Structure 1
Amino acid sequence: MATKSAEETLRKGTTMGRKLWITTSSVVLLWAGAVQAQQVDDPETRVGTDQADVLGDVVVTAERRTSNLQTTAVAATVLSGDDLTNKAVTSLDQLQFAAPSTTIQNFGQGNFFNVRGIGKSEATTAVGVGVITYRDGVAAFPAYFQTEPYYDIGSLELLRGPQGTFAGANATGGAVFITARNPDFSGINGYVFGQVGNYSDIKLQGAINLPLTQTLAARLAFNHETRDSFYTITGPYRGRPGVVDSNSVRASLLWQPTDALKVLWKTDYNNIDLGGYPADPALATNDPFKITSNGPNEAHDEFVRSSVNVSYVFDSGMTLKSITGYQAGRSRFATDLDGTAALNNTFADQLDEEVWSQEFNLISPDQQRLKWLLGLYYQYDMARFPAKTFPTAEYRIGFPENVLDIYLWGDTPKETAAIFGQVSYDISDRVQVQLGARYAHSVSTNDDVYTTYPQFGIVLFQDDEVKDDKVTGKVTLNWKVDDSNFVYGFVATGHKGGGLNAPNLYRPALTFGSEDLVDYELGWKSTLLGGRLRSQVGAYYTVYQDFQVNIGDPQFPQVSRIQNIQGDTTLMGVEASLQGRFGPLSFDVAGSLSSSEMGDFFGADPRLGRTGVCNPSTGPASANCVNISGNTKSYAPEATFNAGIEYAFPLGANMTLTPRVDYAHIGESWTTIFNNAALGDRLGARDIVNASIRLNTGPWTWAAYALNATDETYIAAINSGLRYAGPPRQYGLNLTRTF
């Protein structure tokens, strides 16, 4: 490995330090003005204050016990179901416009979900995710089956930074915890919702809560949407590209025979047909909604998830929890690989996946100086690419189709077992120390995997496994300065396991190593103006080791394989958010500024033809053997910002008229480690405005809405040389009836 000179190391450290100093200084200057208006949030100051005039408490549950966000050492965005509706966050894609440091590149069957530039950036099942999503306490399918809509949601918690204690190996960048609304015993209640919009959009949604007995309650919910395509396509293409037919249902049962025992069962079924994801070449200059294609189009997910959450509180106050999950799904995807009608390069596949999981938590009572939690976790994940008849399969790449085809099939199971825990000790009434750790053992297998080239009669076979053992965790110091200010600092670690490359014509399958990172954070949370204003600000510095990338093989550059970048990648930044409520006026603001630099590493860009070797340590450097040192980490924009504001005008007779505007900015970023704009690596900035106006008359709410109200044309994702356009302006009317 090439050794950095002392001057080079000092230069990089000085450059990144200067960026962070400028960033931090800006936040501090803004913060000083807010602090001047601060008053101690003593309960006495709230006497005579209308509770509708202040912000309610926000709680987080991701650390397996309920705690107040303002006194929890975590950088998080927490949104209620109403928040999601008001901000028009109805799926994963829109979440990036409501949370800082978050980007989501959706290109069809999978997505690149990154927080602070850490997550997933390779479209292969061999590379794990870095931001894991939990649905009702169950870790959802990793990276796939992410098209499930957000409906009848109780809360969404997006935690930034490694969550190595509670979420484990797939949470190096963060974790999302989504909880659907639970049944309760408050009575028969619910809502129905209808919407019509442009592109022939029709959406129907609803839920009903049913207390069946004094100890048994049920909740049923559904979501249905159909919509025409945004695209005009000349072919001859196949399929229904961009046409939406989405159907989801959820059934929940709550059994609570005593105050101590609670059993919650939920089952979701989703049948989501998005028709396909039309795309054209990354460097194209035409209207991205007017494209040519002569390939197949398909994007159809069908999956079910069932969970059983059991909680029992002992007489001592200790709680035992069990969370059991089962998921099964089938995802079919097809696309035109070259994105034009000029060639006949195609891709199509079917993925069948089944996941079993079990978690146990033993949690101490909250009302004691020493608090602790102990957990056990097990997951079995079987991803299967089915065969047709030898030598063909559902997974097919055509270069061009029927002339040079590559088929792949086989099983890729993964098994994970972990033990984790956290201890919190109150040194005093205001100072607390926390220690969390997780030990995980996992096995990834390519079980009877075949790759065939039928036109040449070539069959490649793989039957191999990779094992991984790792301890991750977090050490935290919390300081409650007073009733209004909370300060924390911690060091956390994250880990993502290695895996197996598929064999190719030039060499047998090779393994690639795991990723590790260390994250240092400081944070300050305040409650101002008697509960009318809340703020959170934090800074982080992350050292990322052995980043996994899919680039040209050092010896055989004509093929790609997953490798580890040898030099350290460093990321740093600041994040700040503010929420306020002053009677009928409500607003929220959040933003981030960040900087990242890749370490010393010579990478072979497989998009550029060349001969010879490209040694990761020594090169030699050339136009297509690039030292990426100093390049920006992929999917790590330097700036993100989002803000929303609404005002409820009283009209009398229990009527209110509430206009709302939300604005989001995501800065430009790079889509590969090579940062090569000439090859289409630059993903441009986007500025999205959503607007709505709601008329509420008791149980009825009428609303007019406009998404991407300025009709900004932007590219939402770039993958494999193709660009995917973000949604154009959508507008319409909806009506909600609560009961």
Structure 2
Amino acid sequence: MKTGNTKKNVLRASLLLALPWYGIASAQEATPEAKKAEEAKQEATKVETVVVTAERRSRPLQTSPISATVLTGDDLVNKGINNVDQLMFVTPSATVNNFGQGIDFNIRGIGKGEHNSQTTTGVVTYRDGVATFPGYFTGEPYYDIATIEILRGPQGTFVGQNATGGAVFVTTNDPIIGGGYTGYAQAQLGNYRDYGFQGALNIPLGETLAARIAFNTENHDSFYDISGPYTGTDARMRTQSARIGLHWQPTSAFSVLFKTDYSHLDFGAYPADPVNATNDPFNLTANADLKAVDRVVRSVLTLDYQFANGIKLRSVSGYQDGTTAYRSDLDGTSTGNSTFRDVVDERIYSQEVNLISPNTGWLKWIVGAYWQKDTLTFPPKEFVIGVPPGSPLSEYVLDGTNPKKTSAVFGKVGFDLTNRLELELGGRYTKSTTANDVNVVQYGLPLKQVQEAEYTNFSGKAALNFQLDNRNFLYAFAASGFRPGGLNVPVGLGIPPPFDEEKVNSYEAGWKSIWLDGKFRAQLTAFHNDYKNFQVIVGYPTFPTFGFELNVPGTTKISGFEAQLQANFDDWKFDAGLGVMRSNLGRFYAVDPRGASTVPCDPNTGPESAACRNLEGTDQTYAPDLTFNFGVQREFRWGEDIITPRLNYGHVSQQWATLFQNEARGDRIGSRNILNAQLAWLHKGYLVTLYGTNLTDQTYVTAINSGLRFVGPPRQYGVRLATSF
């Protein structure tokens, strides 16, 4: 065969393959049966339409002026996600730094950077519509999940809590009226003697009422080898969770949805060693009692009533009660003698009421009100730092209460200026109070604090949305967010002043598109944040021997770019996310609280010295320059059986744990590169999955706190057996 003919044949074959790809019809008309089969195949290979519900109104993600990642319950299983820690490996610009009893969750470099009950979070997590605990109880597992929506940028301007960094909406599966007896069951067995069970059952209770019961339990041995004369547990895990839901719909206009869940989460311990230790972090020593147990109860009542004109009245009521108990070796070795222990009770009541217009017509709106009371209680003799323990002269002891209240009114309206151009305007007024009624014995010095602070704010959003055509959507907005301030605990220098609220002004533009007849979807976003009053703990300005929380006086600049892609080509599926970010701290002079100094250091003027550092221009904490994730799977079919291998990879580049960026003190958190994989076999209603997480067995630091390093889980692998009915 001549070379020229070969090239012509290849070109001809390529063109023939390209014709159906771009939707060009052939000259010969297909039979009706063939056309139906082809249409069904094309429909099956389209990327599923994703809907966001975070603003109390269902709307397709591709036509929403918001940057978000939406995951279904199946997505969580396919990507190996069962708790909040792993979300950073599947969404751009997110970092989760978990130090056991608390968490620093940041999106676009904004969220939470300090570890105390007075510092609220800028990334609010909702479960079934109610804002949850802002720091504690982060280990609640994901099971029987409908969707998880990860929203980037200021949120809560119109519903729920206000937020500066973003929000995560976790929605569990509702009972289905008329759904019959349906559900699923799953068993898991893995290394570290890991075994777990979970499942759910939908129960019909009549023509207007249904219930759903779900449960989850998992146990595994410790990842750690702890030597030394320590007592307590060694980080083996024993967790149990259950949920009951009731859905009643007596008429088409009125429905009642009630869910209550309980979790008993015994993680054994949160082992950690000094941040600059050279040993394997899974082989460490300790000589203190170790403990880590959380108990959580949550109940949510949602009432919906739709008037004859289509307006919906919604009420979301929440009650949450949790107790966390933690004991640790504060110096992280068996040679030191510093310990920490606490028991903290937290109780939250919340109420939200919305009036929501129909989702049709040229004018769409929502108005509402929100209220929350969050009380933390520190029982006597349960919050103790011992250096060493055992004597009032060498212990720091705290007890008392920290009640916080939030109330807000909000509204949003959307105008269709043309059939393609929409203007959205919204605003929110928030009032927050926080109080301390605590007793402190600071190494023999008794201190009393009865103090209250109040913060008010108006935040808003203005967006222009343009539907370029049925495949391309453009948007741009300016929005603001707010996080309240808080109180400093006294250190013997009188009652310290409160720290102020944080504010962020955010500017974002995005392009969302659908290509190849729905097989490919993309989101591209550019953003810039002016971040004011960043809350940070530094040396006390007038006497830096003690730590003190205050605000960065200058404006921090954070800018970036994000991209998300989803593709479904016959048996192949792909998804990817990219986040690129740069940050520069505003004007700020401060003393590192880890180093003793008696020289005053004014945050605005310094003066600069070896101890009083000028931090302007440094990177924002927990703001990695690059985040990236990628997933691919391929379905192979043999008769009725389907075999699906899948790979998932997530990268979070290095980040700083403090503004002082002192590598000698271990402030740099290294990059994380996590590779997960699974091989699933679907056979006659049963799904068998071989899974592996952190396949490269990377040892990575997941948080730095109190001079200790906390590491993420090592390589895990095993098998799951699941069936639905």
Structures share fold, TM-score greater than 0.5: yes
Alpha-carbon distance in 2 for matches of 1:248, 1:149: 8
Aligned to 2:141: 149
Q: Mean alpha-carbon deviation: is it higher for 84-93 or for 233-242?
A: 233-242
Query: 1:164·1:473 contact (CA, 8 Å) conserved in 2?
Result: no
Alpha-carbon distance in 2 for matches of 1:333, 1:437: 40
Q: TM (normalized to structure 1)?
A: 0.92
- Quote the offset at 1:384 in angstroms: 0.6
Alpha-carbon distance in 1 for matches of 2:40, 2:91: 34
Aligned to 1:441: 431
Query: 2:157·2:163 contact (CA, 8 Å) conserved in 1?
Result: no
CA deviations over 1:395-454 (Å, ceiling 9, x no partner)? 00011112400100111101111101100000011000001111111111112x10013x
Alpha-carbon distance in 2 for matches of 1:612, 1:171: 36
Superposed counterparts of 1:377-526, under 5 Å: 377-387=370-380, 393-403=381-391, 404-447=394-437, 449-453=438-442, 456=444, 458-526=445-513
Percent identity between the two aligned chains: 47
Q: 1:529 to 1:346 in 2, by over 3 A?
A: same
Alpha-carbon distance in 1 for matches of 2:298, 2:165: 24
**SS at the partner of 2:188?**
strand
**SS at the partner of 1:689?**
strand
Rg larger for: 2
- Quote the offset at 1:617 in angstroms: 2.0
Alpha-carbon distance in 2 for matches of 1:367, 1:93: 38
Q: 1:233 to 1:96 in 2, by over 3 A?
A: same
**SS at the partner of 2:372?**
strand
Query: 2:233·2:290 contact (CA, 8 Å) conserved in 1?
Result: yes
Alpha-carbon distance in 2 for matches of 1:169, 1:354: 16
Q: 1:519 to 1:40 in 2, by over 3 A?
A: farther
Alpha-carbon distance in 2 for matches of 1:85, 1:226: 18
Aligned to 2:271: 278
- Quote the offset at 1:145 in angstroms: 1.1
CA deviations over 1:507-565 (Å, ceiling 9, x no partner)? 32321111111000000000000000000000000000110001110111110110111
Q: Which amino acid aligns with 1:495?
A: F
- Quote the offset at 1:50 in angstroms: 3.2
Q: 1:40 to 1:568 in 2, by over 3 A?
A: farther
Alpha-carbon distance in 1 for matches of 2:353, 2:160: 15
**SS at the partner of 2:517?**
helix
CA deviations over 1:614-646 (Å, ceiling 9, x no partner)? 121222222221110110000000000001111
**SS at the partner of 1:85?**
helix
Aligned to 2:546: 559
Query: 2:159·2:410 contact (CA, 8 Å) conserved in 1?
Result: no
Query: 1:132·1:167 contact (CA, 8 Å) conserved in 2?
Result: no
Are residue 174 (structure 1) and residue 166 (structure 2) matched?
yes
Query: 2:128·2:300 contact (CA, 8 Å) conserved in 1?
Result: yes
Superposed counterparts of 1:355-366, under 5 Å: 355-366=348-359
Are residue 666 (structure 1) and residue 652 (structure 2) matched?
yes
Query: 1:62·1:166 contact (CA, 8 Å) conserved in 2?
Result: no
Query: 1:77·1:159 contact (CA, 8 Å) conserved in 2?
Result: yes
- Quote the offset at 1:241 in angstroms: 2.6
Alpha-carbon distance in 2 for matches of 1:477, 1:203: 48
- Quote the offset at 1:157 in angstroms: 0.2
Aligned to 2:32: none
**SS at the partner of 2:114?**
coil
Superposed counterparts of 1:657-736, under 5 Å: 657-736=643-722
- Quote the offset at 1:40 in angstroms: 10
**SS at the partner of 1:410?**
strand
Query: 1:169·1:497 contact (CA, 8 Å) conserved in 2?
Result: no
Alpha-carbon distance in 1 for matches of 2:374, 2:23: 50
**SS at the partner of 2:89?**
coil
Aligned to 1:28: none
**SS at the partner of 2:343?**
strand
- Quote the offset at 1:38 in angstroms: 11
Q: 1:40 to 1:634 in 2, by over 3 A?
A: farther
Q: Which amino acid aligns with 1:695?
A: W
Superposed counterparts of 1:483-632, under 5 Å: 483-632=470-619
Are residue 203 (structure 1) and residue 192 (structure 2) matched?
no
* Matched pairs, number: 691
Aligned to 2:31: none
- Quote the offset at 1:83 in angstroms: 0.3
- Quote the offset at 1:48 in angstroms: 6.0
Aligned to 2:7: none
Are residue 324 (structure 1) and residue 311 (structure 2) matched?
no
Alpha-carbon distance in 2 for matches of 1:134, 1:634: 24
Q: Which amino acid aligns with 2:267?
A: L
Structure 1 stretches lacking a partner, 5+ long = 1-36, 388-392
Q: Which amino acid aligns with 2:241?
A: S
Aligned to 1:218: 211
Superposed counterparts of 1:108-119, under 5 Å: 108-119=100-111
Give the alignment partner of residue 234 of structure 1, picking from 214, 227, 230: 227
Q: TM (normalized to structure 2)?
A: 0.94
Query: 1:517·1:545 contact (CA, 8 Å) conserved in 2?
Result: yes
CA deviations over 1:135-189 (Å, ceiling 9, x no partner)? 0011111111111100000000000000141356551100000100011022111
Query: 2:159·2:370 contact (CA, 8 Å) conserved in 1?
Result: no
CA deviations over 1:284-334 (Å, ceiling 9, x no partner)? 111010011112211110010001111111110110001011001111111
Query: 1:99·1:590 contact (CA, 8 Å) conserved in 2?
Result: yes
Q: Mean alpha-carbon deviation: is it higher for 530-539 or for 622-631?
A: 622-631
Alpha-carbon distance in 1 for matches of 2:110, 2:159: 15
Aligned to 1:136: 128
Query: 1:164·1:472 contact (CA, 8 Å) conserved in 2?
Result: no
Superposed counterparts of 1:91-106, under 5 Å: 91-106=83-98
Alpha-carbon distance in 1 for matches of 2:466, 2:368: 26
Q: 1:39 to 1:112 in 2, by over 3 A?
A: farther
Query: 1:634·1:672 contact (CA, 8 Å) conserved in 2?
Result: yes
Alpha-carbon distance in 2 for matches of 1:466, 1:217: 46
Q: Mean alpha-carbon deviation: is it higher for 701-710 or for 162-171?
A: 162-171
Alpha-carbon distance in 1 for matches of 2:306, 2:696: 52
Query: 1:488·1:523 contact (CA, 8 Å) conserved in 2?
Result: yes
Q: Mean alpha-carbon deviation: is it higher for 403-412 or for 247-256?
A: 403-412
Query: 2:474·2:510 contact (CA, 8 Å) conserved in 1?
Result: yes
CA deviations over 1:104-159 (Å, ceiling 9, x no partner)? 11101110000011000100011110100010011111111111100000000000
- Quote the offset at 1:725 in angstroms: 1.2
Alpha-carbon distance in 2 for matches of 1:40, 1:535: 20
Q: 1:498 to 1:169 in 2, by over 3 A?
A: farther
Alpha-carbon distance in 2 for matches of 1:704, 1:540: 40
Q: 1:407 to 1:317 in 2, by over 3 A?
A: same
**SS at the partner of 2:62?**
helix
Q: 1:394 to 1:39 in 2, by over 3 A?
A: farther
Query: 1:129·1:170 contact (CA, 8 Å) conserved in 2?
Result: no
Superposed counterparts of 1:266-305, under 5 Å: 266-305=259-298
Q: Mean alpha-carbon deviation: is it higher for 506-515 or for 323-332?
A: 506-515
Aligned to 1:80: 72
CA RMSD of aligned residues (A): 1.5
Q: 1:49 to 1:225 in 2, by over 3 A?
A: closer
**SS at the partner of 1:646?**
strand
Alpha-carbon distance in 2 for matches of 1:77, 1:372: 24
Alpha-carbon distance in 2 for matches of 1:594, 1:334: 37
Query: 1:372·1:423 contact (CA, 8 Å) conserved in 2?
Result: yes
